[in-house]
Structure 1
Amino acid sequence: MNRNTLIRPLQVAAGLLATASVFAQADTDPARDPTKTEVWTPVPAVVSTPQGGAPSDAIVLFDGKDVAAWESELGGRVPWRVADGALTVVPGSKGIRTRQRFCDIQLHVEWRTPTDTKGFDGQNRGNSGIFLQELYELQVLDSYNNPTYANGQAGSIYKQAMPRVNASRAPGQWQAYDIVWRAPRFSAGGGLTSPARITVLHNGVLVQDDTVISGRTEYIGAPSYAPHGCAPLYLQEHDSRVSYRNIWVREL
């Protein structure tokens, strides 16, 4: 018999014995117990996610028909038009806000800019906005082949942070924002202890990645903070027939 032919099975047998020894040690050595790194409680709550619908633990703010969750920014009934499953801005009316106040949230909003773009460009084309806590604006705009300043286009934190990319669809097509919002924190004395932060996916594309908010949205001048608590979501009326649908929120 060839010597190498004999040595090879012996090497395999030795390897098997070594492996068995390792497993045996794992069974008897508490420091090598895999259950030491297993966490069983608390058990995460079960949330069902129907295709195209809101998660089971979400607060539905607009389902295509009911606007009971909203009011005019002046108080009273919603001045916008509800038809064909959409809530559409009436130019010359006022913005609307939720009756409920929110702090940290996950927010889903679908929106559509009008197709009649003739004579309109820049900030005058399909302009609206989603204001978190009524103070911090995520811009809604028709940014499809529509140049404007980068920190004012769709997906921007208005006048603060431009989007990473332009993920806009053509006017008349439904678009979606999926937002994670972390509210700012203030000390008992009113000082800022942590700024607001936002993550936004526009049509499934990441456009804001845990962006730090510098303060409330300002059209002129630098943003700044003043202490506040939880506050409504606000949808802006900006002289354009922008439509919204399928709006829901999860408190975090």
Structure 2
Amino acid sequence: MQNKYSPRSIALQLLLGAACIPFVASAQGGRQGQNRQAQTINLTDLSAFKSPGATWSVAASVTADREKANTITKKDGSGILVNIPGKEHGQDLFTNMEHGDIDLSFDFMMPKESNSGVYLQGRYEIQLLDSWGKKALSPGDLGGIYERWDENRPAGRFGYDGVAPRLNVSRAPGLWQNMRIVFQAPKFEGGKKVANARIIRIALNGVTIIENAEMQGPTRGSAFADEAAMGPIRIQGDHGAVAFRNIRYSNNVAAAQTDGTRQVWDQNEKPVTVDVQGEPMIFRSFVDIPGKRVTHAANVGLLNNISFGYDLSNGGLFQIWKGGFLDASPMWLSRGDGNSRALGSVISLNDMSSIAVLSDANVSWPDTLAKGDFQPKGYDLDEAGVPTFKSIFKGLAINDKLTSDDGKSLLRTISVDGPASKAIYVRAAAGTDIADLGNGMYAVNNFTYYVQIDKSLKPVLRNGAKGQELIIPLKNTDKGTSVQYSIIW
């Protein structure tokens, strides 16, 4: 065990000096906001599409079991476009609308091992695939620009010109994800092509994964042999099950051309980034989250592409993310303001204490901690450099450790030194809605992330002040006094 003030953390805080600065979460290299002058594709029925096949329908809700390959179930209604191919291949779906330049965004859900794609102008495929947790990415992974194909090339090299995502921010099967594609169509003069099609940007779950990619011609499986100024959106329907909602687009596309050596969308010419290299990283700063500034934040970057923000003032886990670690540019711009920014796909949680003393499971969770209830005691590092946060809560010594071994989930263990003399509860999740999926699995905030709890812990799903809460009693056992659960996304 190492002391909470390790040489690594001391050196980092000396480097920061007096400029201990705050944080605003933003997408990596990306601008946030809705498409300008966006139009929405109507999903009350299938009238927006040309001759839809039998596997396509609209639904009010969909569910994709994380453990079942290529399986989606639906409930009757409208608002969600869904393809369920079944045993036989389905048909691709084409919009009545045709486009040239387009700024396209949509939410999508895929089951385990599913495969689909979105073809711009029916010609240029952006891959949709279950790539959750994959480490080595190819053009065939989620968000990649699929390869072109020529069987006259040497064996083993038929595929060419594809572009792989530069990092993996894919979410688990059965969760809603978001993709935004900014595309410039090829340009023609006198019937001759004078400019190739270009992907200005692809953002997956708020993070730029490809930008400024020129396409010499249609990708493999194009619906058309030629290129043109206009064409329909085509959704692949002959492979896997997939669902879409909130399909929006604008034809107002403008982007600076670059030589590819810098990001088109960066607001800083030379961002100051903090990376995780070889061992976990702990970075103290301010962090701005919706409605407040976390002034005692510990940003922790684990190995395997997982990071989280921990509030040392109350023991709250306020955000988790995948992708890069931190952009510390605001700490050094002008006079600095103490802020750093997550460089990945962020899921916001609640910046409130994760533990409370309740007389029973029906008592409301306290909005704030009473003075003196919570005393932070820093953290210890294990041999791998992973911190265990220490605190005193109502006289009890609390240990809080978060780890990740697979790059897919975050395992949290909260324990008490010695027996707990009070009725302590741990709040594992709070959101607008929490769905009980069975076997200790819960989906939070309309399938934004999962929480997995061992059923032996007897979690309680209840209504709270702002939605629903999932709480777990922390009870004394012969193995100690602890609670363990996983956040999966």
TM-score (structure 2 length as normaliser): 0.35
Q: Please say if 1:154 is aligned against 2:142.
A: yes
Q: Which residue of 1 aligns with 2:97?
A: 100
Q: Which residue of 2 aligns with 1:58?
A: 38
Q: Which residue of 2 aligns with 1:80?
A: 56
Structure with the larger strand share: 2
How large is the Cα RMSD of the aligned pairs? 2.6
Contact 2:92 2:234 in 1 (8 A): yes
Contact 2:100 2:121 in 1 (8 A): yes
Q: Which residue of 1 aligns with 2:403?
A: none
2: distance between equivalents of 1:215 and 1:145?
Answer: 31
Deviations 1:45-92 (A, max 9, x none): xxxxxxxx97683221144x2332112xxx367741211232111212
What is the deviation of 1:202? 0.4
Q: Which residue of 2 aligns with 1:90?
A: 84
What residue identity is the alignment partner of 2:41? L
- Determine which structure has more spread, i.e. the larger CA radius of gyration: 1
Aligned pairs, number: 183
1:66 aligns to what SS in structure 2? coil
What are the equivalent positions in structure 2 for 1:206-221 lying under 5 Å apart? 206-218=208-220
Q: Which residue of 1 aligns with 2:172?
A: 170
2: distance between equivalents of 1:54 and 1:229?
Answer: 25
1: distance between equivalents of 2:114 and 2:52?
Answer: 26
What is the deviation of 1:226? 3.5
Measured at CA, do residues 244 and 193 of structure 1 come closer, stay the same or move farther in structure 2, by a change above 3 Å? Answer: same
What is the deviation of 1:146? 4.6
Q: 1:188 aligns with which of 178, 187, 190?
A: 190
TM-score (structure 1 length as normaliser): 0.66
| Unpaired runs of at least 5, structure 1 | 1-52, 118-124
2: distance between equivalents of 1:179 and 1:79?
Answer: 25
1: distance between equivalents of 2:143 and 2:248?
Answer: 18
Q: Which residue of 2 aligns with 1:67?
A: 46
2: distance between equivalents of 1:189 and 1:177?
Answer: 33
Structure with the larger helix share: 1
Q: Which residue of 2 aligns with 1:141?
A: 129
1: distance between equivalents of 2:203 and 2:35?
Answer: 17
Contact 1:138 1:155 in 2 (8 A): yes
1:134 aligns to what SS in structure 2? coil
226-235 or 97-106, which moves further after superposition?
226-235
Contact 2:35 2:249 in 1 (8 A): no
Q: 1:111 aligns with which of 105, 108, 121?
A: 108
Contact 2:178 2:205 in 1 (8 A): yes
Greater RCO, 1 or 2 (C-alpha within 8 Å, sep 6+): 1
| Unpaired runs of at least 5, structure 2 | 1-32, 62-78, 148-161, 253-489
Contact 2:217 2:227 in 1 (8 A): no
